[in-house]
């Protein structure tokens, strides 16, 4: 018989029937006594009224299911029949188990059937019950004020306590949905106690609830429909109790009828479960004795009748619901091919697959209340854009893969104070729309709190980082050569190699020294690392920041080389490996994310950016999350971090340094590349101490290493003449680009 059902359904049916059977067995004596009392005390016409009361009560349950369906349909539309089945099965478990476990069972059944968030569904059910508590307890207090407190039963203080607790929980939930700063930071810290996988899942589930209820609250018609169904369902419940009162206690006056109608809900609502019939009947009798003008036998019959009407019909429906429409169905066909690849990510409360790992950095930023993450959240709630993947960046912009309708695209966003930089990128790309080697800019958006641009997304492209590590060295070399050929053929407008001492001084002071000092002011460990003239980095003793800069400025050749470079009216500005893609079908490069806003504008900047990746593993440093240790080596500060730069990066660094750069750059520019690499790592510190303070020391350590290595080129005593180094008037160019 059970073979028609899935294993999960079989377990549910078995547990439900076994629990119900045990419940009936343990309460059979009481049930038999109550039934006999009703048979003896009621006339045939009274039974008709009781049946009508039971039907009205079931209509109230249908309205309650429709009420639950309103916020659930906000996620995925289901049938009212399905919601009603889940509700009755939940009631079955509420009746036979304490602590209202049926509400959790009901939420689980809805979520699994519709494949949506269990937490969102559970919170919808909990909110529904909290509203019921407020309504019932408030109505009871009004009852006490108008009629007077009953001789026994619930005291007004308990009702007041129930209202206070329920309202407090509702207010707390509303504050969370409204993104209260204190609650959001608390959620961020508490989830941070978990391991990374559980942390991310917990944040995703919590964000899903906030997202879902914000989207629900934005739809006024749904909120009004929900409120109307709340009232309508309770009208049916009270009408059912009134019919039972009329049938069993037909001669009561208006005030006593009011008391009798209130009794079953005053007894059942505060209980941890509907309870055994004996306990319910005893509570109802205690509530009504002395409060209504009726003999004890009639009151006992009324209490028994209300228990039967409240529970027996819904139990009968629940038993049927366990078997109806639960048979296995054929597997659903896959999504149509014409749907956008991002269709699974539009519904953030759907649970067809786990997408939390694709938005890890967004969730972290969102619960820390970072501005752009909040902007993105509002866009998602408003339906303007749907987040598919969030990319961890190293600038003030956030980059994400998004979908809107059937279109997948890359969106970049910045706060208004940095809008000019992203606007420059938009204009730079738009002016070169005919370059097949560049990503296509689609549109720009100006908003009150952010500026954004949308870029072409090519699903067939892969990052150059992946390409060079998954293909032979020659393929990686060819791609780098292709990038530089493009830059020199289509982008650069080169002037002569000249000296620019004023530009050098302004650039080093404003973009480097002041940035590092500003970062140290907000990062105590960084300030501690900068103390003293010497520092130990991964076991190597080096000149510390102030000392190495002092030595560089005092070295005429080293300082003069930094002022000698070739300018270009246009550069890319950020040719890290991260910003180059390879289109697999055509095997051509695709350059993204220009940042042409430096004081120094020449090929030297683009070469330094690329060597920032190849020499010191910028992409590896971004992904590596191992702790960075600041300690002491004797009297010296010591930074220890995990350096995972690959052998392939070392090979490509040597290729660029010995093949591309000598052909494209002057000797002073070749030597200066190392200084600019250090400068780039240093200037990023102001951003790193904000977005990821734990990595700031690592970036500082690389900065110091690059600066020391730059000056090493001018210390002839440290060079091995047998390595083929090229002598010049001002210093030497290293032929090996291995750190």
User: In the prediction, which pLDDT does 136 show?
Assistant: 84
> Which of 25-29, 45-49, 351-355, 711-715 bottoms out in mean pLDDT, i.e. has the lowest?
351-355
> Which of 403-412, 422-431, 462-471, 721-730 bottoms out in mean pLDDT, i.e. has the lowest?
721-730
Q: Is residue 737 part of a domain?
A: no
Q: Check whether 723 has a pLDDT greater than 60.
A: no
User: In the prediction, which pLDDT does 357 show?
Assistant: 80
Query: Dihedral angle at the C-alpha atoms of 186, 189, 193, 198, nearest 10 degrees?
Result: 80
User: In the prediction, which pLDDT does 336 show?
Assistant: 40
Give 164's pLDDT tier (boundaries 50, 70, 90).
very high
The pair phi, psi for residue 714, each rounded to 5°, is: -100, 0
Q: Is residue 315 part of a domain?
A: yes
Give percent of the chain above pLDDT 70.
89
- Which residue, 415, 432, 457, sits at the end of a domain? 457
User: In the prediction, which pLDDT does 304 show?
Assistant: 87
Q: Check whether 152 has a pLDDT greater than 80.
A: no
Task: Indicate whether 507 and 592 sit together in one domain.
Answer: yes
Task: Indicate whether 257 and 361 sit together in one domain.
Answer: no
Task: Indicate whether 56 and 9 sit together in one domain.
Answer: yes
Quote the tokens at residue 591.
């350059």
Closest to 147 (Cα-Cα) out of 58, 75, 255, 51: 255
Per the CB < 8 A criterion, the answer to whether 118 and 107 are in contact is yes
Task: Indicate whether 436 and 511 sit together in one domain.
Answer: no
Residue span of the structural domain in which 414 resides: 343-457
Task: Indicate whether 278 and 219 sit together in one domain.
Answer: yes
> Which of 131-140, 168-177, 470-479 bottoms out in mean pLDDT, i.e. has the lowest?
131-140
Report how far residue 429's alpha carbon sits from residue 284's, in angstroms, rounded to the nearest whole number: 76
Q: Check whether 718 has a pLDDT greater than 50.
A: no
Mean pLDDT score across all residues of the chain: 86
Report how far residue 609's alpha carbon sits from residue 151's, in angstroms, rounded to the nearest whole number: 83
Task: Indicate whether 78 and 206 sit together in one domain.
Answer: yes
Per the CB < 8 A criterion, the answer to whether 666 and 694 are in contact is no
Q: Between the CA of residue 700 and those of 439, 521, 598, what are the distances in Å?
A: 32, 14, 21
Task: Indicate whether 299 and 366 sit together in one domain.
Answer: no
531-579 residue pLDDT tens: 999 999 999 999 999 999 999 999 999 999 999 999 999 999 999 999 9
CATH code: domain of residue 499: 3.90.1200
User: In the prediction, which pLDDT does 473 show?
Assistant: 96
Rounded to an integer, the average pLDDT of 597-610 is 91
User: In the prediction, which pLDDT does 64 show?
Assistant: 96
361-389 residue pLDDT tens: 889 889 999 888 999 899 888 888 888 88
Q: Check whether 360 has a pLDDT greater than 90.
A: no
Q: Is residue 330 part of a domain?
A: no
Q: Is residue 717 part of a domain?
A: yes
State how beta strands 534-537 and 636-640 pair: parallel
Rounded to an integer, the average pLDDT of 185-197 is 91
Q: Is residue 337 part of a domain?
A: no
Task: Indicate whether 480 and 626 sit together in one domain.
Answer: yes
Q: Which residue has the higher pLDDT, 62 or 693?
A: 62
Which residues have C-beta within 8 Å of that of residue 639, sequence separation ≥ 6? 529, 535, 536, 537, 538, 628, 629, 630, 697, 698, 700, 701
User: In the prediction, which pLDDT does 332 show?
Assistant: 44
User: In the prediction, which pLDDT does 328 show?
Assistant: 41
Q: Check whether 730 has a pLDDT greater than 50.
A: no
Q: Check whether 527 has a pLDDT greater than 50.
A: yes
- What are the DSSP calls for 485-522, one per residue? HHIIIII--EEEEEE-HHHHHHHHIIIIIHHHHHHHHT
Q: Is residue 674 part of a domain?
A: yes
Q: Is residue 465 part of a domain?
A: no
Burial status of residue 63 (CB atoms within 10 A of its CB: 0-12, 13-18, 19 or more): buried
Give 274's pLDDT tier (boundaries 50, 70, 90).
low
Task: Indicate whether 392 and 540 sit together in one domain.
Answer: no
63-106 residue pLDDT tens: 999 999 999 998 888 899 999 999 999 999 988 888 889 999 99
Domain count, the chain: 3
Give 137's pLDDT tier (boundaries 50, 70, 90).
confident
CATH code: domain of residue 436: 3.30.200.20
Q: Which residue has the higher pLDDT, 339 or 341?
A: 341
Q: Is residue 335 part of a domain?
A: no
**pTM of the predicted model, to two decimals?**
0.77
Q: Check whether 719 has a pLDDT greater than 90.
A: no
Task: Indicate whether 116 and 168 sit together in one domain.
Answer: yes
Rounded to an integer, the average pLDDT of 25-41 is 86
- Which residue, 268, 288, 323, sits at the end of a domain? 323
Report how far residue 163's alpha carbon sits from residue 657's, in angstroms, rounded to the nearest whole number: 73
Task: Indicate whether 440 and 478 sit together in one domain.
Answer: no
Q: Which residue has the higher pLDDT, 398 or 596?
A: 398
Q: Between the CA of residue 345 and those of 58, 334, 350, 377, what are the distances in Å?
A: 38, 16, 8, 14
- Which residue, 418, 433, 457, sits at the end of a domain? 457
Task: Indicate whether 246 and 394 sit together in one domain.
Answer: no
């Amino acid at each position: 018989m059970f073979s028609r059902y899935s294993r999960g359904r079989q377990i549910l049916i078995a547990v439900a029937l076994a629990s119900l059977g045990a419940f009936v067995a343990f309460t059979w004596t009481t049930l038999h006594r109550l039934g006999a009392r009703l048979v003896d005390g009621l006339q045939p016409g009274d039974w008709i009224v009781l049946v009508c009361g039971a039907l009205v009560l079931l209509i109230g349950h249908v309205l309650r299911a429709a009420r639950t369906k309103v916020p659930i349909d906000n996620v995925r539309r289901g049938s009212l029949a399905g919601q009603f089945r889940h509700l009755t099965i939940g009631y079955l478990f509420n009746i036979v188990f304490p602590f209202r476990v049926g509400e959790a069972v009901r939420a689980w059944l809805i979520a699994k059937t519709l494949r949506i968030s269990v937490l969102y569904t559970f919170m919808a059910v909990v909110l529904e019950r909290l509203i019921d508590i407020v309504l019932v307890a408030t109505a009871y207090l009004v009852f006490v004020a108008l009629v007077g407190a009953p001789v026994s039963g619930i005291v007004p203080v308990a009702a007041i306590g129930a209202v206070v607790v329920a309202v407090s929980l509702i207010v707390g939930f509303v504050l969370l949905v409204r993104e209260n700063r204190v609650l959001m930071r608390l959620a961020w810290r508490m989830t941070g106690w978990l391991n990374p996988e559980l942390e991310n899942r917990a944040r995703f589930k919590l964000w899903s609830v906030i997202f879902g209820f914000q989207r629900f609250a934005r739809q006024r018609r749904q909120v009004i429909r929900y409120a109307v169904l709340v009232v309508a369902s309770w009208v049916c419940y009270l009408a059912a109790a009134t019919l039972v009162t009329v049938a069993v206690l037909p001669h009561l006056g208006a005030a006593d009828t009011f008391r009798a109608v209130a009794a079953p809900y005053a007894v059942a609502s505060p209980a941890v479960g509907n309870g055994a019939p004996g306990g319910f009947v005893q509570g109802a009798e205690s509530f009504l004795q002395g409060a209504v003008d009726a003999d004890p036998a009639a009151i006992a019959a009324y209490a028994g009748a209300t228990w039967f009407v409240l529970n027996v019909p819904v139990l009968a429906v629940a038993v049927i619901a366990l078997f109806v429409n639960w048979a296995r169905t054929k597997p659903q066909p896959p999504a149509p091919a014409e749907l956008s690849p991002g269709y699974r990510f539009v519904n953030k409360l759907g649970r067809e697959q786990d997408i939390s790992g694709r938005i890890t950095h967004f969730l972290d930023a969102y619960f820390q209340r970072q501005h752009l993450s909040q902007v993105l959240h509002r866009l998602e709630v408003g339906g303007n854009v749907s987040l598919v993947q969030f990319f961890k960046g190293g600038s003030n912009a956030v980059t994400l893969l998004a979908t809107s309708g059937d279109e997948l695209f890359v969106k970049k966003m910045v706060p208004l104070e940095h809008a000019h930089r992203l606007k420059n990128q938009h204009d730079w790309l738009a002016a070169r729309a005919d370059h097949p080697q560049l990503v296509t800019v689609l549109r720009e958006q100006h908003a009150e709190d952010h500026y954004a641009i949308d870029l072409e997304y090519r699903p067939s492209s892969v990052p150059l980082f992946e390409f060079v590590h998954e293909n032979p060295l020659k393929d990686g070399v060819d791609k780098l050569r292709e990038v530089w050929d493009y830059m020199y053929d289509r982008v650069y407008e080169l002037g002569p190699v000249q000296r620019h001492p004023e530009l050098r001084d302004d650039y080093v002071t404003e973009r480097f020294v002041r940035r590092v000092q500003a970062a140290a002011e907000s990062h105590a460990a960084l300030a501690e690392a900068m103390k003293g003239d010497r520092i130990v980095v991964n076991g190597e003793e080096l000149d510390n920041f102030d000392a190495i800069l002092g030595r560089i400025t005092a070295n005429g050749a080293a300082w003069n080389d930094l002022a000698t470079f070739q300018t270009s009216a246009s550069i890319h500005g950020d040719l890290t490996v991260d910003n180059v893609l390879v289109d697999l079908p055509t095997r051509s490069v695709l350059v993204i994310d220009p940042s042409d806003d430096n004081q120094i504008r020449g090929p030297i900047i683009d070469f330094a950016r690329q060597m920032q990746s190849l020499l010191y593993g910028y992409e590896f440093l971004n992904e590596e999350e191992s702790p960075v240790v600041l300690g002491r080596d004797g009297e010296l500060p010591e930074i220890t971090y995990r350096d995972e730069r690959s052998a392939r990066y070392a090979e490509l660094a040597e290729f660029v340094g010995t093949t591309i750069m000598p052909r494209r750059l002057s000797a002073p520019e070749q030597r200066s590349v190392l200084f600019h690499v250090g400068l780039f790592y240093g200037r990023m510190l102001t951003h790193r101490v904000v977005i990821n303070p734990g990595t700031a020391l690592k970036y500082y350590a690389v900065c110091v290493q690059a600066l020391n290595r730059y000056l090493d080129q001018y210390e002839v005593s440290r060079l091995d003449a047998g390595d083929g180094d090229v002598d010049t008037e001002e210093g030497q160019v290293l032929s090996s680009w291995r750190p």
